[in-house]
Amino acid sequence: MKNQSLWTKLFLVLMLVFAVGLTACQGEGETNEPTEESSGESVTFTDKAGEEVTIEGKPERIVSVIPSATEIVFAVGAGDQVVGVSEWADYPEEVFEVEETVGDMNLNIEKIVELEPDVVIADLNNADDLDAMRNAGLNVVTLGSQSLEEVYEDIELVGQATGQTEQAEQVVNDMKMKEEEITQAVSEVPEDERKSVWMEVGPELYSGGEGSFLHELITLAGGENIIADQEGWPQVSEEVVIERNPDVIITTYGYYTDDVTETVLERSGWDSIAAVENEEVYDIHNDTVSRPGPRLVDGLEEIASILYPEYVE
């Protein structure tokens, strides 16, 4: 096992995503249609922080301060205008061509100001930094989602903010089509063949309960989350996992920890779990199941393929 500090930082981010997301769901975040089509004209809309934002013309300089927002900006076709990103931005590959970074969860406001962005794409997870950026005179568009439907809203917001409304609509349509194809496929699975799932986001046995992307994706993929009775990102005891006896175990941290699958299979006392006994233990990349962006439907497809390969091609 290695890089424990990386897992700790990742989990703290996940917890912050959930906590802030719950706040966002309390009434703020309804978006408005733009006043003009994205043709270089002024556009006004309400972001997920409840702020009315006006963009004058098509932005030529964009700073994206959180990796999920960066993925969306590139997906809608505005990547060439990005002049600054978070230190944690790692997708798509083109993001590594952006020379300037502006901090991680602790933003370098001075650096962002120096980059003279026409718009900053942020997230509710940026918390106090949102006011700091606005007070510095920056034009900030705030995203924030805890469900696929809210991710679709965020993508449309970014489309409005960057003058890429048509591309954003296409991204959303493609995602919805893929979601529908997968859910339709798994709907054919008989009830007595439905599989229970333990999805593990860290060796300390943290997972996603009600209100998390993990829970939504497991459910949409036709699985039964063994901790559906819990909320957020709880830490679960070994006894709970053993008692609830999942048919499938999915880990999400193999990209920074060696031999995750073998480690799970060799855990003391876990040999009575159906998933271990039948070697139904798999690893997928965390970003595809917890980062609120276009790749969530890829994570959904991977989970569904693991659970029901005979139904999902």
Secondary structure, 3-state, 202-247:
ECCCECCCECCHHHHHHHHCCCEECCCCCECCCECCHHHHHHHCCC
Domain termination site, one of 176, 196, 225: 176
pLDDT band of 255, cuts 50, 70, 90? confident
Residue 242 lies in a domain: yes
For the cut 80, the answer to whether the pLDDT of residue 11 exceeds it is: no
Mean pLDDT of 215-239: 96
Domain termination site, one of 147, 176, 205: 176
Task: Say if residue 168 is in the same domain as residue 199.
Answer: no
Within 8 A by CB and 6+ apart from 177, the residues are none
* pLDDT for residue 105: 83
For the cut 80, the answer to whether the pLDDT of residue 171 exceeds it is: yes
How far apart, in whole angstroms, are the C-alpha atoms of residue 14 and residue 208?
9
* pLDDT for residue 40: 57
- Residue 279: other Cβ atoms inside 10 A: 10
Look up the pTM and report it.
Answer: 0.86
Task: Say if residue 137 is in the same domain as residue 271.
Answer: no
For the cut 70, the answer to whether the pLDDT of residue 168 exceeds it is: yes
* pLDDT for residue 196: 98
For the cut 60, the answer to whether the pLDDT of residue 96 exceeds it is: yes
Mean pLDDT of 22-45: 53
What CATH number should be reported for the domain holding residue 123? 3.40.50.1980
% of the chain with per-residue pLDDT over 70: 87
- Whether the Cβ atoms of residue 47 and residue 154 lie closer than 8 Å to each other: no
Task: Say if residue 200 is in the same domain as residue 106.
Answer: no
pLDDT band of 17, cuts 50, 70, 90? very low
* pLDDT for residue 254: 92
Average pLDDT over the chain, rounded to whole?
89
Mean pLDDT of 32-49: 68
Task: Say if residue 109 is in the same domain as residue 202.
Answer: no
For the cut 60, the answer to whether the pLDDT of residue 4 exceeds it is: no
Mean pLDDT of 238-255: 96
- Greater model confidence, 10 or 42: 42
pLDDT in tens, 262-310: 999 999 999 999 999 999 999 999 999 989 999 999 999 999 999 999 9
- Range of 127's domain? 31-176
- The arrangement of strands across the sheet holding 196-200 comes to 224-225, 196-200, 248-251, 281-283
Mean pLDDT of 132-140: 96
